[in-house]
Amino acid sequence: MANKRRRNLAPVLAIAPFWVLILVAYLGTMLFTILMSFTNSKTLPKLEFVGLKQYQRLFTTDLWITASQNIWAFSILLILISLTVGFLLAVALDQKIRAEDTIRTIILYPYAMSFIVTGLIWQWLLNPQLGLQKAMHDLGWESFSFTWTQDPSMAIYSIIIGGVWQGSGLVMAIMLAGLRSIDQEIWKAAKIDGIPDWRVYISIVIPMMRPTIVTAVVLMSLGAVKAYDIVVALTGGGPGSSSFTPALFIMNFFFTRQNVGLGAAACTVVLVVVSVFFVPWFYYEYFREEKRGH
Amino acid sequence: MKKLLGALLGGAALFAVSGSAMAGEKCDVIHWWTSGGEAAAVAEFAKAFNAAGGEWIDTAIAGGGGDNARAVGIPRIMAGDPPCAMQFNYGKQFDELVSNGFLRNLDDAAKAGGWEAATPPITWGQIQRDGHVMAVPVNIHGSNWSWWSKAALEKAGATMPTNWDEVWVALDKLKAAGITPVAASGQAWQLDMMFQFMVLSIAGNDTFKAVYGDHSEEAVKSDAFKQAIAAFLKVKNYIDAGSANRNWNDASAMVINGTAGVQFMGDWAKGEFVSAGKTEGTDYYCKTTFSDKKGYIFGGDIFVFPVSKNADTTKAQDLLMNTMFSKETQVAFNLKKGSAPVRQDVDTSKVDPCGQEALKLIANPATQVAGADATNTPDAVNAMRDVLASQWTDPNATVDTFVEKFVPALMTDM
């Protein structure tokens, strides 16, 4: 036992700076934010406690209600569509096609672009007077109408389009790696049994790719929860405030509206929601195997 | 989300160590003047400052009517790495920087430069906190302006309106001629400019002051204010499909190119007309009101000078504030910016007709009106803008739903 402890000392020392960083920069600021959410801070943080007043105001603010509804629709659809598109692209690429490298690079390319650039590109493409709709009208399809970015009930979905375009390349790359790691013997066995390809994918390959899919979902959901820049560039939270997201709300209250207290309250709510929904699931997915192994 | 405050704290530690290492009379200036007309105007400041022996370091941060610039500048000031000078608007945006002692007291410079005698009372009041001068004013912007395209009006067979009835007639004609009548934007602050224009022009100065200055619920529910709301909602019939997230200068460009009839926007839009080589009367018309209710909603830009430990920076600040306030710079800057000089003792012969009208309204105490963001915190101003934006996009919005939502927003600070 003592021997084991000594052996562990070196790695512990090596990792100590990271612990300091995590405790101060992550945990410390988290606690500081939670503390701020109980204060009356405006432009600058100050310790003037007002109890739960900020939370009361938060939950009666229309903007926050819109933002929190949007983030559910946005995250769920973004993840589902990106997964589906990414998986189908990966399957298509996995058919031993020609020029796979080139096509893979092209599909992965959008991921190399920042969300701001993505947002701007799609703002122009989806602007009825500049982009897709105008192109169709110019080609003679006069009745074509695509005005999601201008329509308060659809604006959040226009952001999903941009998000999917940007993110599905990454999902494809992950999925492709997952597909390649499937043992070829399984395919041969299925061939011998005469099982159709689609059935192999659904009943054998996808269940075997569970860790890969989990990785993709985790990456996508992290991106979705903090969706900020793509919203700013694509719709600016509008029309009106119909496509606000919690991240945009928080930045807006911290800086534009100079109300640190309310912004911190919103941060805390996001933290709690993420903790309640995601942390147990991450834990289950990532540490389950390990426990079983030991 | 945590990243944000993490960055704040982390940044604080980092900057405290590195400090600001400025030499000579260098001055890094945070501002958000990035459109064509604005950039041309700020270049006048830089030119004058450099000519006076300083070295202007430009930190222009685009976007959001200064939101982004403040998101950078305020944390830098808090973290102990302040810029040499930073732009703010009239209003309460920098109150807490003052009350926490982050900003230099400019009483001496103001006294030596005769700032009080040179500036109109609203401006003089805006730069003071608790009786001390805390900022140098650089211009007076009027936010209640409308900019009309002469070409578009002619094409539609309409004439320049002189009252509200004629405004609607002109807009109908523009619409019938297939021209976008109003170059609008769904961005909340731009809607706010248009709405305040209507409140002042339709409901009048007294109602305007009662609502935004005195937070009177009665005034919000008055018929006069409701008429302004009705006009605001009516404009929805005269916009194009691409307006949702349009930048203000893109909207100005529509009027400049004659593809739209009118833009309701502050006089910074004039900078765009000027930099596009257009002249008032032959290419476009400007108008502050369409009724006998005259008024000028004061807004404007000021610069604050954060306390610096570096003596050279302090020297640069002294030089910069005097340069900005000097008569020559005031004229050169404001001609390009579209705003009026903050000094009333400068040569205004070069000022164009729109500017001359502005100067008259500015000089008259009866027409001086402090804008909504001068009398409300950013929190409250934006709560009201949320209402404007949501009512603007809600097809079921009526005057009554507007009033119902507007009252609590107006009372945010109460």
Superfamily (CATH) of domain B22-142+299-367: Periplasmic binding protein-like II (3.40.190.10)
pLDDT at A261: 93
Distance from CA of B13 to the nearest CA of A (A): 11
DSSP state string for B270-319: HHHHHHTT--BTTTEEEES-SSS---EEEE-EEEE-B--S-HHHHHHHHH
Q: Does B414 touch chain A (CB under 8 A)?
A: no
User: Using an 8 Å Cβ cutoff, are A246 and A71 in contact?
Assistant: yes
Superfamily (CATH) of domain B146-297+368-410: Periplasmic binding protein-like II (3.40.190.10)
Q: At residue B172, does pLDDT exceed 90? A: yes
pLDDT level of residue A3 (50, 70, 90 thresholds) = low
3-state secondary structure of B148: strand
A8-12, A215-219, B54-58, range with the lowest pLDDT: A8-12
Q: At residue B29, does pLDDT exceed 60? A: yes
pLDDT tens for each residue of B226-255: 999 999 999 999 999 888 878 898 999 999
Q: At residue A65, does pLDDT exceed 50? A: yes
User: Using an 8 Å Cβ cutoff, are B340 and B359 in contact?
Assistant: yes
CB contact under 8 A, B386 and A152: no
Distance from CA of B162 to the nearest CA of A (A): 31
pLDDT level of residue A2 (50, 70, 90 thresholds) = low
Q: Phi and psi dihedrals of B144, rounded to 5?
A: -100, 80
Q: At residue A265, does pLDDT exceed 60? A: yes
- Assess if CATH 1.10.3720.10 describes domain A62-293: yes
A145-149, A245-249, B2-6, range with the lowest pLDDT: B2-6
Tell me the C-alpha distance between B80 and B34, whole Å: 26
CB contact under 8 A, B382 and A252: yes
Q: Does B78 touch chain A (CB under 8 A)?
A: yes
Q: Does B377 touch chain A (CB under 8 A)?
A: yes
> How many percent of chain B have pLDDT more than 70?
94
Best of A258, A269, A279 to mutate (most B CBs within 10 Å, chain B):
A258
Burial of B259 (0-12, 13-18, 19+ CB in 10 A): middle
Q: Does B14 touch chain A (CB under 8 A)?
A: no
Question: Which residue intervals of B133-286 are DSSP H helices?
Answer: 150-155, 164-176, 188-198, 205-208, 217-220, 223-234, 248-256, 269-275
CB contact under 8 A, A150 and B242: yes
CB contact under 8 A, A150 and B241: yes
Average pLDDT of the residues in B245-267:
93
Pairing of strands B180-182, B260-264: parallel
Nearest CA in chain A to B390: A240
User: Using an 8 Å Cβ cutoff, are B69 and B32 in contact?
Assistant: yes
Distance from CA of A226 to the nearest CA of B (A): 7
Tell me the C-alpha distance between A70 and B126, whole Å: 39
Q: At residue B2, does pLDDT exceed 50? A: no
Q: Does B100 touch chain A (CB under 8 A)?
A: yes
Q: Does B363 touch chain A (CB under 8 A)?
A: no
pLDDT level of residue A4 (50, 70, 90 thresholds) = low
pLDDT tens for each residue of B382-412: 999 999 999 998 889 999 999 999 999 999 8
pLDDT level of residue A5 (50, 70, 90 thresholds) = low
Amino acid at B150: K
Closest CA to B135 of B126, B124, B127: B127
Q: At residue A197, does pLDDT exceed 90? A: no
- For A275, other C-beta atoms within 10 Å of its C-beta total 10
Q: What mean pLDDT, rounded, does chain B reach?
A: 89
CB contact under 8 A, B244 and A239: yes
pLDDT at A288: 67
CB contact under 8 A, A28 and B9: yes
Who wins on pLDDT, B246 or B307?
Answer: B307
Who wins on pLDDT, B392 or B64?
Answer: B392
Nearest CA in chain B to A125: B242
CB contact under 8 A, B9 and A25: yes
Best of A68, A69, A150, A222 to mutate (most B CBs within 10 Å, chain B):
A150
CB contact under 8 A, B245 and A247: no
Burial of A9 (0-12, 13-18, 19+ CB in 10 A): exposed
DSSP state string for A131-158: SHHHHHHHTT-TT----GGG-TTTHHHH
**Integer distance in angstroms from the first to the last C-alpha of chain B?**
29
Nearest CA in chain B to A248: B1
Tell me the C-alpha distance between A145 and A128, whole Å: 8
Average pLDDT of the residues in A77-91:
94
Task: Name chain B contacts of A30, Cβ cutoff 8 Å.
Answer: 2
Pairing of strands B128-129, B132-133: antiparallel
Average pLDDT of the residues in B63-87:
88
Q: Measured between alpha carbons, how far is residue A226 from residues A220, A250, B188, B344 in Å?
A: 10, 10, 23, 49
Distance from CA of B401 to the nearest CA of A (A): 14
Q: Is the ipTM of this complex over 0.85?
A: no
Nearest CA in chain A to B75: A44
Q: At residue B51, does pLDDT exceed 50? A: yes
Q: Do domains B22-142+299-367 and B146-297+368-410 have the same CATH topology?
A: yes
Q: At residue B373, does pLDDT exceed 80? A: yes
Report domain extents, chain B. Answer: 22-142+299-367, 146-297+368-410
Q: Does B245 touch chain A (CB under 8 A)?
A: yes
pLDDT at B85: 95
- Angle formed by the axes of helices A62-93 and A210-225, to 10°? 150
Give, for B27, the enclosing helix (H) or strand (E): strand B26-31
Closest CA to A260 of A55, A39, A57, A42: A42
CB contact under 8 A, A43 and B74: yes
Tell me the C-alpha distance between B198 and A213, whole Å: 55
Task: Name chain B contacts of A238, Cβ cutoff 8 Å.
Answer: 186-188, 244-245, 389, 393
Average pLDDT of the residues in B299-313:
92
pLDDT at B246: 86
Q: At residue A290, does pLDDT exceed 60? A: no
Q: At residue A294, does pLDDT exceed 80? A: no
Report domain extents, chain A. Answer: 62-293
Q: What mean pLDDT, rounded, does chain A reach?
A: 87
CB contact under 8 A, B96 and A43: yes
Average pLDDT of the residues in B159-170:
94
User: Using an 8 Å Cβ cutoff, are B217 and B407 in contact?
Assistant: yes
pLDDT tens for each residue of B143-162: 999 999 999 999 999 999 99
- For B50, other C-beta atoms within 10 Å of its C-beta total 13
pLDDT at A112: 86
3-state secondary structure of A265: helix
pLDDT at A144: 85
pLDDT at B137: 94
pLDDT tens for each residue of B323-366: 999 999 999 999 888 889 999 888 888 788 888 889 899 888 88
Partner residue opposite B2 with nearest CB, options A29, A238, A258: A29
Partner residue opposite A29 with nearest CB, options B5, B244, B390: B5
User: Using an 8 Å Cβ cutoff, are A89 and A107 in contact?
Assistant: yes
Q: Does B17 touch chain A (CB under 8 A)?
A: no
CB contact under 8 A, A258 and B71: no
Closest CA to B80 of B306, B321, B314: B306
Distance from CA of A258 to the nearest CA of B (A): 6
DSSP 8-state symbol, B237: G
CB contact under 8 A, A30 and B100: no
CB contact under 8 A, A42 and B392: no
